[in-house]
A and B are shown apart, each in its own frame.
Chain A
Amino acid sequence: MTGISSAPAPSPYRQSLPALLGRAAGQEGSVRRPIAFLIGAGIIATLITHDFIRGSNLNELLISSSFLVVLSVGEAFVILVGSIDLGVESLMASFGMLAAWLTVFHGVPTGPALLGTMVGAVILGALVGLLVAKVHIPSFVVTLGTYWGFQGVALLTNGGSYISPSSVTPARPFGFAVLADSTLGVSNLIIVAVGVTVVAQLVITFTPLGAWLKSIGSNELAARRVGLRADALKVLVFAVSAGLAALAGIMMTAYQGSIYPTTGQGDSLEAIAAVILGGIPFTGGRGTVVGAALGALLIGIINDIIVLLGLPALYEYIFVAAVLVVAGLQARGGFLVK
């Protein structure tokens, strides 16, 4: 993506091999790195098992990654300003349960149920943003609170049990189950995930919002001095993150045909890993939303490899840990460890 390039005439200090490799893969924040990782992972996966490259497997891969992609796009907004949202997995579970609860137990029509869920999530996200921006509680602490608190909410919604259409008799289907259907042969889940990513990236690139968010992550004092309303922007990013977490929850509910309170456990950290892998540094300030989506896809590939190899699902944690270390190293720029 254009807009920034490196100044020419590299200093004599930066000619080591890791630095050169780093430069070949594009500077920090560019979308070339996650693409490079993705291609590398795809090649490794294909080498491990030819089943990977089969159309049906790739389709399943895209569908099962769609939820993490949506979560990661929301997380990207938060990390761009230099904050963090640890609570997205619990919001996903809670608001997925809310949509199911409204639809199944209270017969709320699909439209109002989804609208109410999304609006509720956005308002909650805005509250989180206010606690961070105005009350000055670090985002790590506030979202650790939502992580725990909303896990509780999800559990309490149906007494710790899942919600499905047959939770009542006669069974009431999820009106939004259509999300899991296909349009023109492509799963709606993939369409939604791609749509969210594209719209988010277009907004970041082609409206001033992108520069505003990055400036807060890069130098918040500078952003305030030129008159940007940093507090309002922080409220916005947490609202976006919560809204997209709710969307991911609704998507998951439609896909599974039911929603468990423990849905999405571990997804907060995977979303954060995806964002870092995608090129947004931990402190924010640069990077792309598309990169975060590709990072989510990369994690999806890793999970797919584990399944294809028949390894226990526990291996997922080890691989994500390795991915996170790699992400952390490359986010420092050129594999230099400080």
Chain B
Amino acid sequence: MNAIDQDHRAPVLSVRGLVKRFGSVTALEGIDLDINENEVLGIVGDNGAGKSTFLALLTGYHHPDSGEFRYRGHPVRITSPARTRRALGIEMVYQDLAMAPDLSVWENLFLGEEIKRFGILSSRRAMRARAGEVLAQMNTKIRPEWQLGQLSGGERQLVAIARGLLFDRDIILLDEPTAAISVAKADDVLNTIGDLHKRGKTVVLISHRLEDVLAVCTRIAVFVTGRVAQVLDNRDLTIADLIHAMFGGAADRQRAQWERRQQPGTR
């Protein structure tokens, strides 16, 4: 789908030295991370650790102050969400889903990338049919002509993920996919993520629901105040391990500071 030379041994996306500031706040202090083909990479960390900012940079919604991206080994500039979707095959599923509640499911799925005849006429029937196909592939009962605003949170989440399948995007980014949904629907979403993995897609997801992260992810990157503190393979990992990785460093530093203050003469 793109003309970039592809080195298939390289990670599908690589990030080096990514820095992002918002005014006086530094959200990312130099992120180095590889995203490998067909993995499910989880990103965990405390609030404010920079997880959402990182995804926003990957999708082109914000631009980094410094750092570089590589797509399959080849340096790229990530400029805008629209171009990222088309050129790099990255589909971003936002926490607030970025969909219009007044429009139908199929109108939302094709928004901005409509199937057209003669360049300007919408092929409504074709879009509706294609949307129906993808929804059926995902094993949901959602029909393309339903109004999006009337769907439950979980159903909307599935529709948002469907956009990635619809346009055959290879890299799917998810920001808190199970945060605002019922437990039952969360299972549907997790199963869908598993499906994406089976279809050969690469998935990156942010979640504070550590049990969900452990359920679907193959690797987990731990963000701590704007840096990648650790990257763990999901082998026999427990929630306690993750929590320690997210906060343990800080707790250890605080304890070391406290111990130092207990030494006489160090004030």
Judging by beta carbons under 8 Å apart, are B104 and A4 in contact?
A: yes
A5 pairs with B146, CB closer than 8 A:
yes
Across the interface, do B81 and A227 meet the contact criterion of CB distance under 8 Å? yes
* Given A3-B124, A228-B112, A222-B99 contact (CB < 8 Å): yes
Interface residue? A208 (CB, 8 A): yes
* Of B96, B108, B111, B113, most A-chain CB atoms within 10 Å: B111
> Which residue of chain A has its CB nearest to the CB of B105?
A4
* Residue A146 CB within 8 A of the other chain: no
Q: What 0/1 readout, one digit per residue, does chain B (51-77) give for beta carbons within 8 Å of chain A?
A: 000000000010000000000000000
Interface of B, secondary structure class, is: loop
The contact string, 1 if C-beta is below 8 Å from chain A, for chain B 82-118, is 1101000000101011111111100110111110100
Output the residue of B121, B122, B146 with the most chain A CB within 10 A: B122
Judge whether B150 is part of the interface by a CB distance below 8 angstroms: yes
Chain A nearest CB: distance from B117 CB in Å? 10
The answer to whether B107 and A3 have CB atoms under 8 Å apart is yes
Give the interface size class of chain B.
35 or more
A110 within 8 A of B: no
Is the C-beta of B145 less than 8 angstroms from some C-beta in chain A?
A: yes
Of chain A, the residue at the smallest CB distance from B149 is A218
Residues of B within 8 A of A217 (CB): 102
Q: Which of A215-239 contact B (CB under 8 A)?
A: 215, 217-219, 221-223, 225-228
Also in contact, A4 and B111, with CB within 8 A (given A206-B122, A207-B120, A227-B85): no
How far is A214 from B147 in the complex, measured between Cα atoms in Å? Answer: 13
Task: Report chain A residues within 8 Å CB of B92.
Answer: 225
Contacting pair B61 A214 (CB below 8 A): no
**Is A208 a contact of B102 with CB atoms below 8 Å?**
no
Which residues of A are found within 8 Å of B116, using beta-carbon distances? 208
CB <8 Å contact, B111 and A215: yes
Most chain B CB within a 10 A radius of its CB, from A29, A206, A208, A217: A208
Closest CB in chain A relative to B156 CB, distance in Å: 11
What 0/1 readout, one digit per residue, does chain B (136-164) give for beta carbons within 8 Å of chain A? 00000001011100110000000000000
Asked if B80 is at the interface (CB within 8 A of a chain A CB), the reply is yes
User: A7 interface residue, CB < 8 Å from B?
Assistant: yes
Most buried by A among B94, B107, B110: B107
- List residues of A whose CB falls within 8 A of some B CB: 2-7, 27, 29, 206-208, 210-212, 214-215, 217-219, 221-223, 225-228, 285-286
Chain B residues in contact with chain A, CB under 8 A?
61, 80-83, 85, 92, 94, 96-104, 107-108, 110-114, 116, 120-122, 124, 143, 145-147, 150-151
Beyond A214-B102, A214-B103, 13 extra complex contacts between A and B, CB < 8 Å? A6-B147, A7-B146, A27-B147, A211-B107, A211-B110, A212-B112, A214-B100, A218-B101, A222-B98, A222-B99, A225-B81, A285-B103, A286-B103
Q: List 20 A-B contacts (CB under 8 A).
A: A3-B104, A4-B145, A5-B146, A6-B146, A7-B143, A7-B151, A29-B102, A206-B121, A206-B122, A211-B110, A211-B114, A215-B111, A218-B103, A219-B98, A219-B101, A221-B96, A222-B98, A226-B111, A226-B112, A286-B103
- Shortest beta-carbon contacts, A-B, top 8: A227-B82, A218-B100, A285-B102, A218-B102, A226-B112, A222-B98, A286-B102, A215-B100
